[in-house]
Structure 1
């Protein structure tokens, strides 16, 4: 049995008249990383003010002394926010018996300001476990309150949480979407990151999106999220934002998740991605139009939609109802990928990226040991193989008629020349940077 964690506990109080100053001086801190914001109903706030005016206790707050010397509210945020609204004059009292705080008589205000608000102040001396202590204390205090999955995940600390929180706060994708009540869009950012880190796109195997999968990822990626994976994830978000644009304002999280899976797969496996944003844009419009052209309970296809297509989209809708299971994710991914292939036929990248040693030997002797670029003799050990039609454009590695052997320096010069040509085409508007996988 591990040694019991015993924090310092101090029981104290402040008076109601101090609350605005405590917030202004940032002595009391509402941590937006996991706190839910102002979610109490108006009636709950009025009942709290009624308790205060009647001299009843409103319970004990729980505060935690953090590394910055501020008191994080672990329990009592809604009570403090309601009181602050009352003090600021922003709480609607029109249909109540209460007088606005600003209109109280001097004696009444003195009496109200003197109302005592009691709190427990916790402090952990263990620097290694302090953050975990805050998280666990918060979660246990909220066990009587129905926290949703997003709120529970947001209460944790670490690199994984930092990555999806930053994406949720900074990405233009989530800014254009609506409905971030109780961290829903932050959860969507976490779901997309989890799928990117733990999903096997090639074999269509994905993790569950239930709470335990996120807790596991938080532990696995507590110190570090692989930078290359994180860059790819952020680039996927950017491409989705560019592609979907105004469609994002009405997009459901479940729809956005399926489109994320599609974009991530295509950036890894589709050849010729220079025009991918436009392709995704056109596809998404058609896909979402079909998806929203009938109810899940309709048994007949809408006018103009073939029965086979109707059944496919209907099955997708049913799968989306259980959106967190690996089976649902696989089913929806297969459907949306199949629809993209049907509506936007494309060439898949060769799974084999590099030429092997035997292929390079064959090329060496086919070219009589001469560099295909400069025509001079090569040292086989210092030569490199090149795709004439690039791998990213669909060039096949096992097709040696599409390959050439070069001096290392000649290969570098050739790649530099290709990059320069690509920049010219981008500047001329013929290509776009978006959609190119790293």
Structure 2
């Protein structure tokens, strides 16, 4: 059964021995408190949020309760409250000013007030699974954890720690190699989630299954090598970068098409250029998937407008040219006489109205 108790510690006590290093971690409370455990994110508070924490303490107003977990007889890790704790420690350490006043510039009584400010902390002691369950429960306010950050907690180990080195740090290798191709932020674990989801899909697994399988691997070099292979492949077949390439599921494309020998970069570039200039293509980011799969739906081809449909319907006398039957306009679908894929434009002259069944048959053909 988990044991939970409330304690009071001062800001000064928490800031004692404060140390913040990107590789070594973040500690305080005379080196007895791990402020950023391995499942926690990097600091994500904005300057405004950070400053409000300091102003709250300066005014003597209450901060929300914090949560720690026991890791030893007299050692702890922050379960919830990392952002507030780092804000306080960084201010006392002189890393930033609030209202143009650094900590050392404050009058002595103001400094003592801040250092003597009492933080209310709940400390829990229990099994790893109990701590993680509690962590999920209290993760209901402030800067909530993302799904991937929660996965990092559940599957914490050497593999996760090494994977974060590649994908989760500001200026990390993944950001330098492929920042132009990925959406999201490294410190919110979105690059890592993308990479793992691609690798998991390659072996038909969920993200959770993939991480569980690799949790105790000594390193994440296999994931990094896979990710590099994806980006190398993308840059080889589509050597000219365009902004529409950002955020596409390149790993899924790679998994399906990496062994194809018919992908000529010069031909593909010519096709990309042509489709990007085509006014009928309304979804430019879909060009790349279309060229790999041939699925026109990826492009959201410009539809015939109501005027074009009415003109074609009247011209045909309401008769479907395929089956010869008469239909109401509402029962018919607009179709390219000369297929769009063969250069047929979306114009009134190239529009015909087909009944639903004939249109589906033509699409299947």
TM-score tier (shorter): 0.5 to 0.7
The total of aligned residue pairs comes to: 275
2:55 pairs with 1:50: yes
Given that 2:68 and 2:124 are in contact with CA atoms closer than 8 Å, whether structure 1 keeps it comes out as: yes
Q: Which has the higher strand share?
A: 2
Local SS of the residue matching 1:143: coil
Distance in 2, Cα, partners of 1:338 & 1:232 = 25
Given that 2:50 and 2:87 are in contact with CA atoms closer than 8 Å, whether structure 1 keeps it comes out as: yes
Distance in 2, Cα, partners of 1:152 & 1:17 = 30
Local SS of the residue matching 1:254: coil
Distance verdict in 2 for CA 1:105–1:7, change over 3 Å: same
The structure with higher relative contact order (CA 8 Å, sep 6+) is 1
Task: Please report the TM-score for the alignment, with normalisation by the length of structure 1.
Answer: 0.50
| CA deviations over 1:14-58 (Å, ceiling 9, x no partner) | 221233334325433244644233333434333322321222321
Distance verdict in 2 for CA 1:105–1:174, change over 3 Å: closer
| CA deviations over 1:280-339 (Å, ceiling 9, x no partner) | 6x6786677677x47xxxxxx33xxxx5xx37x55938xxxxxxxxxxxxxx85x34236
Determine which of 111, 114, 127 is the counterpart of 1:112. Answer: 114
Q: Show the counterpart of 2:153.
A: 155
2:87 pairs with 1:82: yes
Distance verdict in 2 for CA 1:79–1:230, change over 3 Å: closer
Q: Post-superposition shift, 1:102?
A: 0.5
Matches within 5 A, 1:246-395: 254-255=247-248, 257=249, 259-267=250-258, 269-271=259-261, 293=276, 301-302=278-279, 310=281, 316=286, 335-338=290-293
Local SS of the residue matching 2:150: helix
Distance verdict in 2 for CA 1:11–1:173, change over 3 Å: closer
Q: Post-superposition shift, 1:92?
A: 4.0
Distance in 1, Cα, partners of 2:74 & 2:242 = 40
Q: Show the counterpart of 1:168.
A: 167
Q: Which has the higher helix share?
A: 1
Given that 2:35 and 2:77 are in contact with CA atoms closer than 8 Å, whether structure 1 keeps it comes out as: yes
Local SS of the residue matching 1:155: helix
2:7 pairs with 1:12: yes
Distance verdict in 2 for CA 1:36–1:51, change over 3 Å: same
Q: Show the counterpart of 2:194.
A: 188
RMSD in angstroms over aligned alpha carbons?
4.4
Q: Post-superposition shift, 1:270?
A: 2.9
Distance in 2, Cα, partners of 1:177 & 1:34 = 24
Task: Please report the TM-score for the alignment, with normalisation by the length of structure 2.
Answer: 0.58
